[in-house]
Amino acid sequence: MNIFSLISQASKNNTKQLAVLIDPDKSGGKGIKKTIDICDVSGVDYIFAGGSLIKSNSFDDCILQIKALCNIPIVLFPGSVMQLSPHADALLFLSLISGRNPEMLIGNHVIAAPHVKNAGLEVIPAGYILVESGKLTSVVYMSNTTPIPNDKTDIAICTAMAGEMLGHKLIYMDAGSGAQKSISNDMVRQVKANISIPLVVGGGIRDAKTAEGLWEAGADILVLGNIAENKPEIIKEIGSLIM
C-alpha cells in the first residue's frame, strides 16, 4: 500500500481525509484503545504518531500497539530523529520550511537518512509550516524557530509555493498542538489556491464547525491531536462530515 498515492488520489478527487495524532507518551493505557476503536468506526484515514518531545523509550512498542488495534495506516510524524519505527506504513520526512533552523531544514535529515533507508519506510517529503497560534507551543519552542504570523497570508503562500518548488510532495500547515486558535480558513484557502500538492492542516481543531470550515477552505487532510485523546467522541462527529 502506497500511502502517498492514497493521499494524492483523494486530494485530486477532492475527497476529504482525517488523521488522528497519537502521542506515544500518552499511549499504553486503556485510553489509546478507546481512541483507536473510535477511529476505526469514524472513517479515520490515517493514524499519525509522534510528538515534539517524547519521554518514553518505547516508540516502537506504541506503533506495534496501534497496529494490533486497527488496520488504519500508521504515518510517522516525527518530532526528532529518535521517532522512527520500521513497523509504520510511511514517514513524513518533514522539513520545517517556515523556520530558519538548519537542523530542522536538513541537519536532522542527514542523521536520519541511513536509518530511514534501513527501516524500509515509505518516505513522504513534506514541507512543514508552523503558524503562530496565540501561545507558545511545544513545537515552536522545541524546534527553535519562529512561526509565521497568523495574519501574514502572503508569507504562508510564498513559503508553501517554495516548498512545492523544492520538491516536497505535500504541505503540512500546523498551528501546533494545543494551539489556542487553529489556522484561519482564509490562510488555508489562499495557500491551497497557490499550490498543486496535497495540504494537511492541524493544530487547535477541537470541533466539527472548525473542521468543516478548514475542509471547505481547501485542506485535504485534517489532523486531530489533543481533542482525539481528551474527548474521542469528537472524532466520530468530525468523521461523520466526510463519511
Q: Which residues bind ligand 1GP (CB under 6 A)?
A: 21, 174, 176-179, 202-205, 223-227
Cell numbers at residue 93, please?
Answer: 520526512
Task: Identify which of residues 63 and 222 has a Cβ nearer to ligand 1GP in the complex.
Answer: 222
Task: Identify which of residues 203 and 232 has a Cβ nearer to ligand 1GP in the complex.
Answer: 203
Cell numbers at residue 29, please?
Answer: 493505557
**Cα 138 vs. chain centroid, distance in angstroms?**
15
Q: How far is the CB of 225 from ligand 1GP (least distance, A)?
A: 2
Task: Identify which of residues 118 and 144 has a Cβ nearer to ligand 1GP in the complex.
Answer: 144
Region of residue 22 (phi > 0: left; psi between -120 and 50: alpha; otherwise: beta):
beta
Task: Identify which of residues 75 and 224 has a Cβ nearer to ligand 1GP in the complex.
Answer: 224
Q: How far is the CB of 117 from ligand 1GP (least distance, A)?
A: 26
Q: How far is the CB of 177 from ligand 1GP (least distance, A)?
A: 4
Task: Identify which of residues 224 and 238 has a Cβ nearer to ligand 1GP in the complex.
Answer: 224
Q: How far is the CB of 111 from ligand 1GP (least distance, A)?
A: 23
Q: How far is the CB of 31 from ligand 1GP (least distance, A)?
A: 15
Q: How far is the CB of 133 from ligand 1GP (least distance, A)?
A: 9
| Separation between Cα atoms, residue 109 and residue 97, nearest integer Å | 13
Buried/exposed 70-90: b ≥16 CB within 10 Å, e otherwise = eebbbbbbbbbbebbbebbbb
Task: Identify which of residues 178 and 213 has a Cβ nearer to ligand 1GP in the complex.
Answer: 178
Q: Do 211 and 241 form a contact (C-beta atoms < 8 A)?
A: yes
Q: Do 153 and 132 form a contact (C-beta atoms < 8 A)?
A: no
